[in-house]
Structure 1
């Protein structure tokens, strides 16, 4: 502050930015934010390590992760017969493990047999679209049998683990990684946890082998992969972690799981099939094959009625562009106050969308029934059922305020 009481070293334009609302200082940006807030207010949102790998493996080291169409993540070394999709599969030798096609559960027996043959340096236990619990104890035994590090990627479920509503991997893992902006509800970022102390003891000599993870991981993060710290992100993360330690957060995460079970039950009552026959976590994976539909078309209809979820590959799929599943998560709308009855209502809306999808696809001529034709048809405003559902859902969602509503009022939006 200057001697005359004015703000020190700020131009008039900067003072206006601090003292006036965004509507006054930048109406164009304010209008964009207002439109986006309105879109979110009227919508149902259902959207469900290389630093570590380089630290503990040389180039062409061996890694095993859950196959992407079976619920794994792209970053765990996904590749097709034609090309290496993930950069991880370019730098390292990767081999997938899979689920049992009948049960949808990870096939631990086959994983163990393949691990003995492949002898990976890293075994990754992590998913992006696997709705059941992982048997971390079994994964630990498999990793030990081949001398591999067990790396758990809990990015999608870290909030559930922090709240204690699903089992924790920390007892079993050598390294745990997570993003911080998914179920943990923090800023976009990541955390790496690693073990110190004794890794193993030789049965004959009693000699201890210590973990050597701290320095390699720290060096891999900086200067290996990252630049300077983002202090604003670190600050936001501390707030998120403080919130994650609260009773309110635990109650919220329990509601997330309860809501996922509620939508599972409703889908089953409506005659739908779920991958792995249901969920133990925050999402369900809907199998559309009985309707001869793909997730890309259902996703397109849902987008038009203000329901945001994503197409997703399921076990047995041949194409990632037109997979036969859609992934439906409960965290975002639970944050807005949805309860079990509300998610049952969401299931009925998705059921209606699938019926509309079937009708539109059947009405399109054979020569104009590609995905782009389908998308143009459902986005053209010609399908009355889509228009009616969009208005109904928009009106319903107005009763569930966004978490930022108080800030919106303060900003004049």
Structure 2
């Protein structure tokens, strides 16, 4: 990778072989294993170049035309490009591209609409809610009074009647829709109706599906939500970071909630990388990619079911899949370890209506990264086979080395970056 070679051949006196070696090791790790973490992807070389550009040197507190530092003429132009591209890509009246992460974007959304102590209705963490949806260890659970809705015990789908009942009972100031592990499309219109009925604002946490939205492979929350929070990595294939979309009437409140309320200077190299990613996502090729991501996920979910995994909701509409590996003799944590030993990298997760305390009995995986590498439906069947073999064999089985080599052979045919 160019980034690694750059460190190794830097000017005399600035070489850092220790970090260069670690970067090379990470590049090798990414190339030699199956990257199935649903929140990860491979950015383009152009995005990486923007991240490593001289914009990393620039301090730019404030917004275009109203910075607290001099010398911001170029970065003002960069941020305007990013904003315009985000607005065009998602059909939003306003975009803020400065949030450092998805959590930062959610914090700013709450700051724009709520006050400490307000009641918020959101998906419960054991059912797929994010930490920012009311975890007691997060600012959200400490500052606001969260009421949780869940998914149906049999279907695994959001119980919209429960959402409506809880909203009528608790009269929340805001309703949050979004999840880190819900594999189906969310009915944003239904949430809008509930929010309107009780006079609440609607916040869509679209960190996972926003890339599919950009590619026309998932419904957009923009026409329904007061504020849409999202990340720019995952399926969108941009740099790690966040963004906020909203209507013109909330633009000033959202901007002030990001700066100066919750953040300082924008990371302008990241803003430039976001602009590059938005431009790439506007191209017709990205639509093809987004739909292939979903096709691959559906094929993989079916193949996993054939191999004996229990697939929640019976499948997926998106890039992510959640499964119970119990029928193959392991809970989520044990399965994650066995799969990692075979070169298959994914996450464990809680399963709705599972063990007390929301133990991570399940696995969460996604197809965004392997699809970026060029893998298709044929490879999804092989991945399911590898996963089942790893769990049935166990990490100490004599066939473990053979399985690891088969994973390497598969990934070698689909390098994420040109040599």
Q: TM-score range by the shorter chain?
A: 0.7 to 0.9
- The residue number in structure 2 matching 1:98 is 150
Q: Could you tell me how far 1:273 is from its partner in structure 2?
A: 1.5
CA distance in 1, matches of 2:378, 2:406: 17
2:141 aligned partner? 89
- 1:298 CA displacement: 0.2
* Structure 1 residues 291 and 320: CA distance shift in structure 2, 3 A: farther
1:207-226 aligned at under 5 Å gives the runs: 211=249, 213-226=250-263
Shift of 1:291: 4.4
Find the residue that maps to 2:236 and give its secondary structure: coil
Deviation at 1:20, TM superposition (A): 7.8
For each residue in 1:196-243, what CA deviation from the matched residue of structure 2 results, as whole angstroms up to 9, or x when unmatched? 3xxxxxxxxxxxxxx4x2222222111111001211111111000000
In the other structure, the counterpart of 2:330 is 293
How many Å separate the matches in 2 of 1:231 and 1:109?
Answer: 44
Pairing 1:353-372 to 2, within 5 Å after superposition? 353-357=390-394
Aligned with residue 21 of structure 2, among 27, 31, 49: 31
Q: Point out the more displaced range, 249-258 or 19-28.
A: 19-28
1:204 counterpart residue number: none
Give the 3-state SS of the residue equivalent to 1:332 in structure 2: helix
Partner Cα distance (2:138, 2:390) in 1: 33
Q: How well do the aligned residues superpose, as a CA RMSD in angstroms?
A: 2.0
Distance 2:305 2:328 in 1: 15
Q: 1:337 aligns with which of 347, 358, 374?
A: 374
Instruction: Tell whether the 8 Å contact from 2:36 to 2:345 is kept in structure 1 after alignment.
Output: yes
Other-structure match for 2:78: none
Specify every segment of 5 or more residues in structure 1 that has no aligned partner in the other structure, as ranges: 1-16, 79-83, 197-210, 358-377, 407-413
Alpha-carbon distance between aligned partners in 1 of 2:261 and 2:151, rounded to the nearest angstrom: 34
After TM superposition, the structure 1 = structure 2 runs for residues 156-175 of structure 1, keeping only pairs within 5 Å, are 156-175=208-227
Question: Which residue is 2:116 aligned to?
Answer: 59
From 299, 305, 321, the counterpart of 1:284: 321
- Offset of residue 129 of structure 1: 0.1
* Closer/same/farther in 2, CA of residues 265 and 23 from structure 1, 3 Å limit: farther
The worse-fitting range, judged by mean Cα deviation, of 111-120 and 18-27 is 18-27
Q: Give the TM-score of the pair, scaled to structure 2.
A: 0.79
Instruction: Give the superposition deviation at 1:54.
Output: 1.5
Measure how far apart 1:22 and its partner are: 4.7
Unmatched 5+ residue regions in structure 2? 39-105
Please point out which of 25, 46, 53 is paired with 2:36: 46
CA–CA distance in structure 1, aligned partners of residues 7 and 29 of structure 2: 28
Q: Determine the structure 1 residue equivalent to 2:385.
A: 348
Q: Does residue 111 of the first structure (1) align with residue 163 of the second (2)?
A: yes
Q: Compute the TM-score of the two structures, normalised by the length of structure 1.
A: 0.80
Tell me how far 1:28 sits from its aligned partner.
2.9
Does the 8 A contact of 1:72 with 1:128 survive in 2?
Answer: yes
Match of 1:179 in 2: 231
1:63 aligned counterpart, secondary structure: strand
Does structure 2 conserve the Cα–Cα contact (< 8 Å) formed by 1:99 and 1:315?
yes
CA contact (8 A) 1:73 1:128 kept: yes
Cα distance, 1:330 vs. partner?
A: 0.1
Mapped pair 1:386 → 2:403: no
Deviation at 1:324, TM superposition (A): 1.4
CA distance in 1, matches of 2:8, 2:282: 36
User: Relative contact order (alpha carbons < 8 A, sep ≥ 6): 1 or 2 greater?
Assistant: 2
Residue 73 of structure 1 is matched in structure 2 by 130
Q: Pairwise mapping of residues 118-267 of structure 1 onto structure 2 (< 5 A)?
A: 118-196=170-248, 211=249, 213-267=250-304
Cα shift readout 1:106-144 (whole Å, capped 9, x = no counterpart): 000011011100111110111100001111111110000
Within 5 Å, give how 1:305-316 maps onto structure 2.
Answer: 305-316=342-353
Is the 2:308–2:328 Cα contact (8 Å) retained in structure 1? no
Is 2:360 the partner of 1:323? yes
Equivalent pairs counted in the alignment come to: 346
Aligned mates of 1:111, 1:141 — CA distance in 2: 11
**1:304 partnered with 2:292:** no
- CA deviation after TM superposition for structure 1 residue 19, in Å: 11
Contact 1:313/1:320, CA 8 A, preserved across alignment = no
